[in-house]
Amino acid sequence: MTYTIKEIFYTLQGEGIRVGRPAVFCRFAGCNLWSGAERDRKRATCKFCDTDFIGTDGVNGGKYQDALSIATVVNSLWPTHAEHKYVVLTGGEPLLQVNSDLVKALHDFDFEVAVETNGTITVPSGIDWVTVSPKSLETWIHREGSELKLIFPQPNISPSQAEKSDFSHYLIQPMDGQNLFKNTEAAIKYCQQHPLWRLSLQTHKMINIR
């Protein structure tokens, strides 16, 4: 299988329960809810994506012919002799490409494997940490995992609808854009009124890292 990778880089996790944790991010090209082109945004299922996942022009991006090649690059970015290896498979929608071969190859290098998905595809077995960020009830299939990260507010799914699922952690993340301040205030208020939910902020943008 050929994998199409936008970029692979070492950073800190910027969102969710594991915010601040060192991680190698492996971003896959392509998504099934938006083409990534601005001309298609208005008619896409996900209209508010803030990530460039088109092509292979990022750092360590390219066409990888096998899972071992990806795992080798991921491993090369981890600090020498450091433990607690952690890789985040993201996109776009990574589960369009991620398979058991890749998960095994990363495990063979002793990485804990996380995935960030929109929940439209069933997660393959073996992944250690599953973050689901659904964009509509109609397309949301995988409804269990480690954390549910709901962008808020959005028209196609509400927190009360989203909590009818099976996750260890429930997070609300204010939608970025021109209404970020207003959305953040609303998210704070919602979390205060509904303690099941915790606030997730995009801290990587605040401290200016990738």
Chain segment 173-191, per-residue pLDDT in tens: 999 999 999 999 999 999 9
3-state SS, residue 47? coil
Whether 207 contacts 183, CB under 8 Å: no
Q: How far is CA 136 from the centre of its chain?
A: 16
- Choose the catalytic residue: 15, 26, 31, 111: 31
What does the pLDDT look like over 48-58, one tens digit per residue?
999 999 999 99
Q: Where are the domains of the chain?
A: 3-206
Whether 88 contacts 56, CB under 8 Å: no
Report the predicted TM-score, pTM, of the whole model to 2 decimal places. 0.97
- Choose the catalytic residue: 7, 15, 28, 49: 49
pLDDT at 18 over 90: yes
- Residue 59 has a CB neighbour count (10 Å cut-off) of 12
Say which CATH topology domain 3-206 has.
Answer: TIM Barrel (3.20.20)
Q: Which one-letter DSSP state was computed for residue 137? A: T
- Choose the catalytic residue: 7, 15, 93, 116: 116
Whether 130 contacts 113, CB under 8 Å: no
d(CA 54, CA 145): 27
Q: Tell me whether residue 49 is one of the annotated catalytic residues.
A: yes
- Choose the catalytic residue: 40, 48, 50, 110: 50
Q: Tell me whether residue 116 is one of the annotated catalytic residues.
A: yes
What does the pLDDT look like over 121-163, one tens digit per residue?
999 999 999 999 999 999 999 999 999 999 999 989 999 999 9
- Choose the catalytic residue: 107, 142, 169, 204: 204
Whether 115 contacts 130, CB under 8 Å: yes
Question: What is the percent of the chain where pLDDT is above 90?
Answer: 98
Q: Tell me whether residue 53 is one of the annotated catalytic residues.
A: no
- Residue 118 has a CB neighbour count (10 Å cut-off) of 26
Q: Tell me whether residue 28 is one of the annotated catalytic residues.
A: no
Q: Tell me whether residue 4 is one of the annotated catalytic residues.
A: no
The mean pLDDT value for 60-78 works out to: 98
Q: In this predicted structure, what is the pLDDT of residue 210?
A: 87
The mean pLDDT value for 82-104 works out to: 97
Whether 78 contacts 24, CB under 8 Å: yes
**Helical pair 100-108 and 67-77, crossing angle rounded to 10 deg:** 40
d(CA 6, CA 153): 28
